[in-house]
Amino acid sequence: MKQRIITGMVGGAVFLTMVLLGGWIFALFISILASVAMVELLRMKRIAPISIMGIISLLSMWLLLVPTNWFEQVVPSHFTKVEIFIFVILVLLMFTVLTKNTFTFDQVGFVILSSVYVGFGFHYLIMTRDIPEYGLYLVFFVLFIIWTTDSGAYFVGRKWGKNKLWPDISPKKTIEGSLGGLLAALIVGTIFFSIFPIFSSYITALLVIVVASVFGQLGDLVESALKRHYAVKDSGNVLPGHGGILDRFDSLIYVMPILHLLQLI
């Protein structure tokens, strides 16, 4: 427990400092986190990061991760990132034939889905921080909602939890805990918005709170399902007492793309 607390305090301080700094420093920091997260996924699948498959996977993830203006400066072309990613998918499918199924269709699916999951998740985190004037507050707002949801779900579930939320995936989570996390997020989010009115109306703020809280919990379950499928306890061990990068950022990288796709931020 002591190790977990120390890691949490140090890791939290470093991350919050990077959020405050913003700019290319934050983007570079997030790119490193995303790379570690992708390596964790590859190891779950027993794909060596330093291999043809591993390198292609990392390149695919970076393609979706990097801000568009970075990409256009490094790779000037008439093709968009998405168009190039589609081309990568077609090349990967071609490899299933050239390798005579040594590289299987399942592995192609894993590379594509992992690249989208990690790449877009962290990409939208970078994009949110880069929003003029309100980017810093938006990132903090979402972070507070997710952290409050986790804490509220833990304490309410521990005190009053009786009905399992999804026992096949995460046996300890309860419906009472989930609702408690949502209620805690509503309280903290409302207080935050009253101090920093970063949305056009409270209705918008309320929608962001609910979406971030509900889908944050779903993102946590998605990663739990992933770990259960690959029979691992943690995604990695880079954070002593906390597991891997995916274990700490699973909710955030699931929520950020959804908030952007729903045009809430």
pLDDT in tens, 186-221: 999 999 999 999 999 999 999 999 999 999 999 999
Which residue do the tokens 């009053």 mark? 160
| Domain residue extents for the chain | 23-129, 133-265
Enumerate the β-bridge partners of residue 239: 243
Q: What is the pLDDT of residues 82-104, one digit of tens each?
A: 888 898 899 889 888 888 877 88
Q: What are phi and psi of 239, to 5 degrees?
A: -115, 95
Q: Which pLDDT score is estimated for 83?
A: 85
User: How far is C-alpha 139 from the geometric centre of its chain's CA atoms?
Assistant: 13
Residues of the chain with pLDDT under 70: 1-4, 71-77, 240-242
CA distances 4 to 9, 11, 53, 175, 240, Å, are 9, 10, 34, 26, 6
| Predicted pLDDT of residue 237 | 73
